[in-house]
Amino acid sequence: MSAAVPRRAGVIGGGRMGAGIAQSFATAGAAVTVVEQDEAAAAKVRERIAGSLERAAGRGLLPAAPEEILGRLAFVGDVAGLPADADLVVEAVPENAGLKAKLLAAAERVVGADTVLATNTSSLSITELSASLARPDRFLGMHFFNPVPASALVELVVPEATGRAVVDRALAWTAGLGKKDVVVKDSPGFASSRLGVALGLEAIRMVEEGVAAPEAIDDAMTLGYKHPMGPLRLTDLVGLDVRLAIAEYLHRTLGERFAPPALLREKVARGELGRSSGRGFYTWDD
């Protein structure tokens, strides 16, 4: 698959993921329009991207000056401001099916016939989200990983209705970002979340059963199996609340093996959400 960069792209939601997706496409040369809720939110996204670009420049990782890349970004307060001639629009608002479906349908009414629509959902059914679209054949999951600029992977999640040419374009854009793709069928948790959550839940059950301390369980995976990070530290970074929500969804769709352990529910109820709250399986003071 030859690499390509969208000439124009849109990103709906400029949070942790949306900002990273916008930064990555702009760095590759695309003009990117970011949709955020209001001006204050847009200013925060711009600041977040500017800081990230400065750090990347300091490490010699940018093909152009940070100001030049920032100049490729535009911010609008509504999907109505998306450019009609965008090659690609990626939705990256919070994990709420109703909100995503509504915004994707609104985006579809604005963009041209040739625009590919994608969602960055980490667990929702792409097929169910596509029910709100007039043309599901131009829609797929482009699942990016956090932090997007530094991560090597995009998981392309492809429902049966998605056209082959659309998948080919998404593959070319993934290569254009310098990232590797994995292509998976639309099924609960895709490949990455399903396996990652399975490992994380089993590690939590092992803490619950007193098999070993979190550090020991993580060392078993990092030193024994060469994982870059142990499953409990990773759960802290992703957020215990985020992991619980995905586990509940996988429990509903794939069965008992994804039943969330009581310890996970208890920690979330106590507000021990991981790094974001300062405490999860580890204590975080940054």
Footprint of ligand NAD on 17-76 (CB under 6 A): 17-18, 35-37, 41
The count of residues interacting with ligand NAD (CB under 6 A) is: 23
Of the chain, the end-to-end C-alpha distance in Å amounts to 42
Q: How many Å apart are CA 126 and CA 140, to the nearest integer?
A: 7
Site residues for ligand NAD, window 135-164 (CB under 6 A)? 144-146
Backbone phi and psi for residue 109, each to the nearest 5 degrees, phi listed first: -75, -20
Distance from C-alpha of 202 to C-alpha of 190, rounded to nearest angstrom = 18
Among 24, 27, 121, 132, contact with ligand NAD (rule: CB under 6 A): 121
C-alpha to C-alpha distances, 131 to 86, 280, 286, nearest whole angstrom: 22, 37, 42
Enumerate the β-bridge partners of residue 31: 8
Q: CA 24: distance to chain centroid?
A: 13
Using the rule CB under 6 A, give the single segment among 12-20, 49-57, 168-176, 250-258 that binds ligand NAD. Answer: 12-20
**Which residues face 147 on adjacent strands?**
none
Nearest to 236 by CA among 283, 285, 275: 275
- Closest-by-Cβ residue to ligand NAD is 15
Stretch that binds ligand NAD, among 118-126, 132-140, 152-160, 250-258 (CB under 6 A): 118-126
Residue 92 near ligand NAD by CB under 6 A: yes
Closest distance of CB 52 from ligand NAD, Å: 14
- Kindly tell me which of 144 and 281 has the beta carbon lying closer to ligand NAD: 144
Strands 139-144 and 88-91: unpaired
User: Does the protein bind ligand NAD through residue 132 (CB under 6 A)?
Assistant: no
Binding site for ligand NAD (CB under 6 A): 12-18, 35-37, 41, 92-95, 103, 120-122, 144-146, 238
